[in-house]
Amino acid sequence: MLINQAYRYELKPNNVQETLLAKHAGTARFAWNWALAQNNNTNAIAQHREWNVWKRENVPWWTEISKCVPQEAFRDLDRAFSNFFSIWREAKTNPSLRARIARSKPRKDGKPYGYPQVQEERCA
């Protein structure tokens, strides 16, 4: 018998930690919107390469944030597009299915961002 178990933790960050978490969430949103605006139909890896070149010239605050945050945003966007197109293909045969294309995220979205592991090596 396979048993799945989950743990839920509540964070109580101090002011410095709360600011850093907000910066990470803002970076994830910014990276998502940047990749969406590029509209170049590339995968997450290619988007991250383009981001690395672009960020050095245009966003001076990138050094304050973990490299994993934009990577996860690009992966999430890549997954959103692949989900959209798979549902869109199925909707041709089943009209009751509806698919929505990925949209830009507003500043006060309130949705969490992904962070794969505590270890930086994981997101490379």
Is residue 3 included in any domain, yes or no? no
- Distance of alpha carbon 57 from its chain centroid, rounded? 21
Is residue 114 included in any domain, yes or no? no
Whole-number Å distance between alpha carbons of 89 and 12: 44
pLDDT tens track for 13-63: 899 988 888 888 888 889 989 998 887 677 888 888 899 999 989 988 888
Q: How many CB atoms lie within 10 A of CB 27?
A: 21
Q: How many CB atoms lie within 10 A of CB 15?
A: 7
48 contact partners, CB below 8 Å, separation of at least 6: 70, 71, 74
119 has pLDDT over 50: no
67 has pLDDT over 70: yes
Tell me how far CA of residue 101 lies from CA of 67, 81, 82, 106, in angstroms.
26, 7, 10, 15
Number of domains in the chain: 1
pLDDT tens track for 75-114: 888 888 888 877 777 767 776 766 677 777 877 766 666 6
Is residue 117 included in any domain, yes or no? no
Is residue 115 included in any domain, yes or no? no
Domain hosting 84: range is 20-106
Whole-number Å distance between alpha carbons of 95 and 73: 30
